Amino acid sequence: MSQINIVIFGIGNVGSTLITQITDFNKKTTNRKLNIFCIANSKLALFKDNVASGWSSNFETAAQPYTLDDIYAFAKKLKEQNNHEQEQEFVAVDVTASATFANNYIDLVEHGFHIVTANKVANTLSYDFYKKLRASLTLNKKKFGYETNVGAGLPIIETIKNLYESGEEIHKIRGVFSGSLSYLFNNFSKEDKDFSDILLEADALGLTEPDAREDLSGKDVARKLLILSREIGLAKEFGDVKIQSLVPKELNGKTTLSQFRESVKTLDTIFTESKSKLSKHEVLRHVGELNVKTQELEVKLVQESKFTALGQTQGADAVFEIYTASYGDQPLVIQGAGAGKAVTARGVLSDIIKITQSLN
């Protein structure tokens, strides 16, 4: 069996939770251990044969500035120390929120690393980059795990990929893609509260981004929709997605975060008006929708029947409806927690384990 060596980029909520989950996994399994040989943030890295135990305090005292070349050199050292007694496999895990780190993926692959990522950037850059990355993975015989890009720990990408590769005719994909927006409109539709109050509640619970305009802009949902469209063979770009932003022009990125929070009550009039147009059997839902026949991708706020899968969501759940030729008018529905550090980290760990199993 191969020795699996892991470098983790990103030590925030998801990264630190993942380290704990890997440590627990190693305690429970005797079949194959996962060796974390490096933990890094954007500036510093902690190198050790196994850094999982007591990593946080060790990082504060022993982490050092690094480049990717340092990581490649340490990986080479691990191989040499092994004296070829056991095959060494290397996995780079990206749990950063970086908009630029994905530019390193091809270089990592060329230096012998499989890639697992919770970061959506690589799959939503230009279609040219998308193809180049996959060509490099094929050439270097490396795996790429990114299930958590859509739906956190839910098996959305895997299900859609399997349907598509088996020849299933997919007609439409529709769903509540965002856990934060799910929470906002689930509660706003059923409670007699101002939208701004529910938004502040979601912020306090850590469900929204630090700047809630990131959620309300619809761009994150658009990225997820783009990823799914590419999974079924559509050569789409981010600019092809029609996005209905829920941020008023006067509160867009030109104002500071503090100015936005001071003016958040401005949102109440807008959404109260939308709520007033609902029938007694309708709710507001923020959805992403891909029409495969017309190749249209759209992110929008809709009036939804309470009796559909989307209309019945609770809490911060995500829900996805997949319409295909075989399923007819009754879609395949996948629903569950669509956000959260524990489910996202678990999804990343699952991708790592899938890679190790494929190497047997």
To 10 degrees, the CA torsion angle through 61, 62, 65, 68? Answer: -140
Cα(282)–Cα(301) distance, integer angstroms: 13
Give 256 or 210, the one with higher predicted confidence: 256
- Name the nearest CA neighbour of 160 among 85, 63, 227: 227
User: Coil, strand, or helix at residue 348?
Assistant: helix
Q: Could you tell me the CA-to-CA distances from 122 to 134, 217, 331 in Å, in that order?
A: 11, 20, 29
Domain boundaries of the chain, sorted by first residue:
3-152+342-358, 156-337
Cα(145)–Cα(317) distance, integer angstroms: 23
pLDDT of residue 30: 72
The CATH class that applies to domain 156-337 reads alpha beta
What's the rounded mean pLDDT across residues 144-163? 95
Q: Pull the structure tokens for residue 334.
A: 């996948």
Q: What is the CA radius of gyration of the chain?
A: 22
**Burial annotation 70-102 (CB, 10 A radius, 16+ → b, else e):** ebbebbeeebeeeeeeeebbbbbbbbbeeeebb
Give 80 or 300, the one with higher predicted confidence: 300
Please state, rounded to an integer, the average pLDDT across all residues of the chain.
93
Q: What is the largest CA-CA distance in the chain?
A: 71
To 10 degrees, the CA torsion angle through 160, 166, 169, 170? Answer: 0
Q: Could you tell me the CA-to-CA distances from 258 to 180, 270, 299 in Å, in that order?
A: 20, 20, 27
Share of residues in the chain with pLDDT > 70 (%): 97
Question: Residues 218-266: pLDDT tens digits?
Answer: 999 999 999 999 999 999 999 999 999 999 988 887 788 899 988 999 9
DSSP 3-state percent helix, strand, coil across the chain (nearest 5): 45, 20, 35
To 10 degrees, the CA torsion angle through 345, 51, 96, 339? Answer: 20
End-to-end Cα, the chain, rounded Å: 7
CATH of domain 3-152+342-358: 3.40.50.720
Question: Residues 161-189: pLDDT tens digits?
Answer: 999 999 999 999 999 999 999 999 999 99
Tell me the pLDDT band of 51, cut-offs 50, 70 and 90: low
| Helical (H) or strand (E) element with 251 | none
Question: Residues 17-34: pLDDT tens digits?
Answer: 999 999 999 998 877 889
Share of residues in the chain with pLDDT > 90 (%): 79
Whether the per-residue pLDDT at 50 is higher than 60: the answer is no
In this predicted structure, which of 42-56, 70-84, 98-112, 140-154 has the lowest mean pLDDT?
Answer: 42-56
Whether the per-residue pLDDT at 38 is higher than 60: the answer is yes
pLDDT of residue 237: 98
Tell me the pLDDT band of 49, cut-offs 50, 70 and 90: low
Under 8 Å CB-to-CB from 28, ≥6 apart: which residues? none
Cα(147)–Cα(149) distance, integer angstroms: 5
Strands 88-94 and 3-9: parallel
Which residues belong to the active site?
224
Cα(199)–Cα(263) distance, integer angstroms: 13
pLDDT of residue 84: 65
Whether the per-residue pLDDT at 128 is higher than 80: the answer is yes
